[in-house]
Structure 1
Amino acid sequence: MAYVATLISNPSAPAVTRKAIHDASAVLLNAQEPVVLHPEVAVDIHFKPELGADIRALAQHVREALNGAPVDVVVQLEAGRRKRLFLADMDSTMIGQECIDELADWAGLKAHVSAITERAMRGEIEFEPALRERVSLLRDLPVSVVADVLRERIRLTPGGRELVGTMRANGAYAALVSGGFTLFTQVIAEQVGFDEHRANVLVVEKDVLAGKVAEPILGREAKYATLVELRDRMHLAPSETLAVGDGANDLAMLGEAGLGVAYHAKPQVAAAAHARIDHGDLTALLYLQGYTHDEFRVS
């Protein structure tokens, strides 16, 4: 069977040099001439490994051959690379921040809340009780603070609008699925260009946060269920789906997707996902589908 290894670097620091391509090709059986997706940023190397080869082991073998170069490596089957359903986490994935931590900063509690967030994202504590605990600390915070946080603190992750825009231009459906809050996802989904968004609902009473989140909480299992629901609604095969996230509550979704990508993720998530992006921006998820830079569209 034919496979492809995609080498991807961050567009702001191109690192897919001739040497990197040579070193990667040297450890791939029956490697063909590289296909340039974006000069010095991304290339495809098609190859045919031995029967029964382990994809993750092959990717790691290529990373080792690159000897520390800031280049991501994704190995997958050549067929069926372009996906028709895309699910994405929001916090620390489609945006660079954790919204609940930024809200807590306005309440003078960022250090405490951030520590809980970090433990939950690493899978050291259960997501749902950790979320309830953090939300309780936000009680009496004016809901107007959300707009301030969005304006002053929240920044879209580079490449996100290109990722969603290009996939949707090619017929894919894109959903933002977050363990965060609808007060944020409704804005981010519109800015990036998602078809829909799902997240938790903060309870608001008389224009202040009540310190409660509406039940049931959208966490690990709900993200998984959303992927299955949308896939079945669209009559897609599992292989036609793509998911991306960084935290432990994304693991079930990433595992169920045809291609689950750990994006600048916690160690547990990076180790478990089908693919990992440690250096590139979100356009890496287009390159791993075989899109060239000339094909990019902005939502």
Structure 2
Amino acid sequence: MAKRETIDQRIERILHTRLAHILADISWRLDQLRQVQASPDPAGRQVFAEDLNLQGHAMLTGYAVTANSPSAGSIAWTDLHMVYNGTDTAIVDANTAMKYAWWSPTTTPTALQVSNTKPTLSDGETLVFVNNNGTPVVALSSTNQSLPSTLANGAVDSSAILANAVTSTALADGAVGAAAIAANAVTGAKIADGAVSRTAQLAANVVSTSAIAANAVTATELGANAVTAAKVADGAVSRSGQLSANVVGSTNIAANAVTGAKLADGAVSRSGQLAANVVGASQLADNAVDSGALAAGAVSAAKLNILQHVLY
């Protein structure tokens, strides 16, 4: 059977629970008093933060802050005292995994407030600690070199940034959106040769005829066999406009490519397109030549076989 707690033990446990913070504060103050009394020379005695009344200034003293406590990513503070306008306030021991810890002399004077967003501080309120993934940064230390991350909103204007200070390595992917780029800010001089590719930067059909300057597309811009028959509209190539004289020779026309359906009525004339004697008997269908196709006197007697016949 477990030993029952005695009255003295119970009283001691209650006192420790209820008065531990007060007793720690008393112990801290007695230790400071011993340090003042230990110096025989008054000029060598220390002046503590709680002995000062600096109007509008907050100071912290007597504290310890621990990294990665009570677990990784958290910070913990003990024996913290905030001195403001000559008034010393003991702060409850606590810890946080959040980014910011700050103090208000009016809202919660005996405890630090915490959040993951940078607080908007009123008069008298001050940022005390910054938790950098478990590493504490004391914001009220004048020797701390890690405080640029705690600058107030709007504290840095364009004149405070050196030319070329912000490089590409300082910008996260996608950090600069369309809304951050002024109209017409990106000119041709700002785009490297080859920076715009067809597959990555150009959407389908984004380049229309109005975006292509006259004569901009020359033979060097066209890949081999890029222009196929399917890309040429009917009638797009005319003899007088697009084709130079004699550009289409017999070697450019496939066998049987020119059929009757491809020839306009009257396109082939005797004097122009037909060589002498090119039409022989084998080219004429039966009954192809009738009286309507013969001019008056076109058939001479020499062309008739009139043996044993008399013509009147």
Structure holding more helix per residue: 1
* Larger Cα-atom Rg: 2
User: Normalising by the residue count of structure 2, what TM-score does the alignment of the two structures yield?
Assistant: 0.18
Structure holding more strand per residue: 1
Question: Which protein has greater RCO, CA pairs closer than 8 Å, 6+ apart?
Answer: 1
User: Normalising by the residue count of structure 1, what TM-score does the alignment of the two structures yield?
Assistant: 0.19
